[in-house]
Amino acid sequence: MRDEPVTTPELVAAYRDRERPSEAARERMARALMAATAARSATVIPLRPPRRQRRGFAGVWLALAAALALIGASSYWLVSARQQMSGPADMLLDAHDHEPAQGTVTPKAIEAPRGHVVHAIAEPPVVTEPAAVETVEPEPAMVEVAATTEMGAADPAPRRPARSQARHVVADSPRGADASADPVLEELMLIQQIKDALDAERPAAALAAIDAHARKFARGSLAEEREALRVVALCNAGEVARGERARRAFVNAYPRSAYRERVRAACPVAAAATEQTTMD
């Protein structure tokens, strides 16, 4: 092992260099793809084979019809049994007691393994109890942001989480008392505030949040993101000279950053002027 500590860029570069297909494998795959393109007869494992989907739906409908028939038969049997035991007046008095039991037929039973559950839930006959459908599981991402120290917890996996809804909760949660108590959450929320302000075209507010983040988390884990956003905010605010200085500082500090393209595009006028000066 080397004497000097291994750096993150070194680890990343080595991993990127080793963890990839060999040249021979690349060549083989390229040949196969070109053959497929030419013949247009590539054999692909279909992600959602339509035939199976139809068969699956037919099966679901059959199972559903059987279940409904069974429920109907058992209800009829129960009703007749109770009528025999206590008469119709008692049935009317006890009617509300039966309501909770209606929700026991859940649409989960017909959940298909390949993500067809959305269609199945949307079908009216499945929904025997409307309230059961409205019971939405908590958004896993929201839970995660609200409790960042337990980020390893298993998330339930919704197929299509509503991003706008999640963003809303993420933006709201820090305004509670917990945000200032938890530095991790506070740092995250400051970054979120910067993004939100930039999205809302309020660069001054974004810069204020950036300065707040820089004061509190000068060497925070999201300093790279903050400095990239600073360049964008300065240029959006029309402070091209400061933006350009911030851009240079950013590129020097994070030469391989994923944000370098965005940062470069943030101040096109300044960047063009710099290139012109360099050429002269």
Partner 1 sequence: MIPLAEPPHAEDAPMSAEPGAPDLMEIYRAHVDYVWRIARSLGIPADAAEDVTQEVFLCVHHRLHTFRPGGSMRAWLFGITRNLVLHDKRSYARRERHLAALPQPQETAREPDATVRVQQAAALMQAFLDELDLDKRLVFQMTEIEEMTADEIAEALAIPLGTVYSRLRAARARLERFRLRLHARDERRHACATNP
| Nearest by Cα to 133 from 156, 96, 98, 102 | 102
Long-range pairs, 4-9, Cβ under 8 A, ≥24:
9/256
Tell me if 106 sits within 8 A of 132, measured CB to CB. Answer: yes
- The answer to whether 140 and 154 are in contact (CB under 8 A) is no
219 contributes a contact to partner 1 by CB under 8 A? no
Cα–Cα–Cα angle for 202, 204, 206, rounded to 5 degrees: 70
Give the x-and-dash track for 142-171 against partner 1 (CB under 8 A): x-xx--x--xx-xxxxxxxx-x--xx--xx
Query: Which of the 8 DSSP states describes residue 153?
Result: S
Least Cβ distance, residue 28 to partner 1 (angstroms):
7
* Residue 256 in the binding site for partner 1 (CB under 8 A): yes
Choice between 103 and 257, CB closer to partner 1: 257
- Interface with partner 1 (CB under 8 A), residue from 93, 119, 222, 230: 222
Q: Which is nearer to partner 1, 90 or 172 (CB)?
A: 172
Whole-number Å distance between alpha carbons of 62 and 59: 5
Q: Which is nearer to partner 1, 17 or 280 (CB)?
A: 17
- 268 lies in the binding site for partner 1 (CB under 8 A): no
Listed ranges 24-32, 66-74, 83-91, 201-209: which one lies at the site for partner 1 (CB under 8 A): 24-32
- Enumerate residues 6+ apart whose C-beta is below 8 A from 241: 270
Q: How many residues touch partner 1 (CB under 8 A)?
A: 73
Among 59, 115, 138, 268, binds partner 1 (CB under 8 A): 115
- For partner 1, give the closer residue by CB, 87 or 161: 161
Interface residue with partner 1, options 258, 265, 269, 272 (CB under 8 A): 258
Of 141, 179, 208, 273, the one binding partner 1 by CB under 8 A? 141
Burial 161-185 (b: 16+ CB within 10 A, else e): eeeeebbeebeebbeeeeeeebeeb
Residues, the chain, total? 280
Tokens of residue 196, six digits: 């939100």
Site for partner 1 in 73-112 (CB under 8 A): none
Contact status: 29 vs partner 1 (CB under 8 A): yes
CB of 201 vs partner 1, minimal distance in Å: 17
- Least Cβ distance, residue 18 to partner 1 (angstroms): 4
Is 18 among the residues that bind partner 1 (CB under 8 A)?
Answer: yes
The CA distance from 170 to 195, in Å, is 12
Beta-carbon count within 10 A of 207 CB: 21
Residues 6+ apart with CB under 8 A from 186: 174, 179, 180, 216
Cβ proximity to partner 1, 188 vs 207, nearer residue:
188
Interface of this chain with partner 1, residues 189 to 208, rule: CB under 8 A: 189, 191-192, 195
Distance CA 86, CA 74 (A): 18
Rounded least distance, CB 155 to partner 1, Å: 6
Verify binding: residue 44, partner 1, rule CB under 8 A.
yes
